[in-house]
Chains A and B, each alone.
Chain A
Amino acid sequence: EDKVVQSPLSLVVHEGDTVTLNCSYEVTNFRSLLWYKQEKKAPTFLFMLTSSGIEKKSGRLSSILDKKELFSILNITATQTGDSAVYLCAVRLGNKLVFGAGTILRVKS
C-alpha cells in the first residue's frame, strides 16, 4: 500500500526559531513530491521536487528530496507567526496524489 508519513505531527516554536519538517514515503511509480501550506482552508502550493539533491528555495523556506532514502524535508528559517499552518506533503504516483496527514506548526510570538 502506498504511504506518505509526515513528522512530527505537531510542534510549537518561538518566533525566530528554525524548523525542519519531515516527509517519508513508500510508494510505487514515484513521479514527484509536493509541499503545501494550509492556513484556513484551501492548501496553497509551496514546492514541487522531482530530482534528488536539488534544493528548492523561496524566501525563508527551502526543501530537498532524497530519492534513495525516500524522504524530503521542508526547512523554515527565522520563523514568524504567519508561518503557523498545517504543512502537507504529497507524492504523485502516476495519475494520483497521495497526501500525508500533515504537520501542524504553531509559531508563538
Chain B
Amino acid sequence: EAQVTQNPRYLITVTGKKLTVTCSQNMNHEYMSWYRQDPGLGLRQIYYSMNVEVTDKGDVPEGYKVSRKEKRNFPLILESPSPNQTSLYFCASSPHRDGDEKLFFGSGTQLSVL
C-alpha cells in the first residue's frame, strides 16, 4: 500500500533532550516535506527536500534539522527541544512534477515538550 509512515504517533519529552521523528515513503517520490500544525495558524512548512542530499528551509526552520540521505527517508531532528515546539507534526511527500503535485501526508506526530 502506498503510504507515508511517521513514527512515533505520540511523544512526550523534556526540554533539551534530543529527539528524532522518522518519516518514510514507499512511492519513490522526489519531494518530501515537514509541517507543524498549531491552532489558528494552519500548517507551516519547516523544511523540504527536492531530492537526495537536497534540503531547503521552509517558513519556520529554527530549532529543527533534517537530512535526506536516502530517497525514501526524511527524518526530523530536534537537537534541543523547547516547549514552543509542542505541536502536531506532519511529514508529506509528492511526485512534485508539474501537474502532479498532490501531497500525501503521514498520520502525524503529536509532540509535547515539558
A34 & B101 in contact (Cβ 8 Å cutoff): yes
- A11: chain B residues at CB < 8 Å are none
Give the nearest-CB partner of A43 in chain B.
Answer: B105
A34 to B58, CA, bound (A): 18
**Chain A residue total in the interface (Cβ 8 A):** 23
How far is the CB of A65 from the nearest CB of chain B, in Å? 14
B96 & A95 in contact (Cβ 8 Å cutoff): yes
Number of A-B contacts (CB under 8 A): 55
A41 & B101 in contact (Cβ 8 Å cutoff): no
**Chain B residue total in the interface (Cβ 8 A):** 27
Interface core residue of B31, B40, B90, B102 (most chain A CB under 10 Å): B102
- Among the listed B42, B96, B105, which residue makes an inter-chain contact with A100, where contact means beta carbons less than 8 Å apart? B42
Is A107 an interface position by the 8 A CB rule? no
Is B41 an interface position by the 8 A CB rule? yes
Q: How does the 8 Å CB contact mask read for A8-28 relative to B, with 1 for contact and 0 for none?
A: 000000000000000000000
A4 to B90, CA, bound (A): 19
A34 & B102 in contact (Cβ 8 Å cutoff): yes
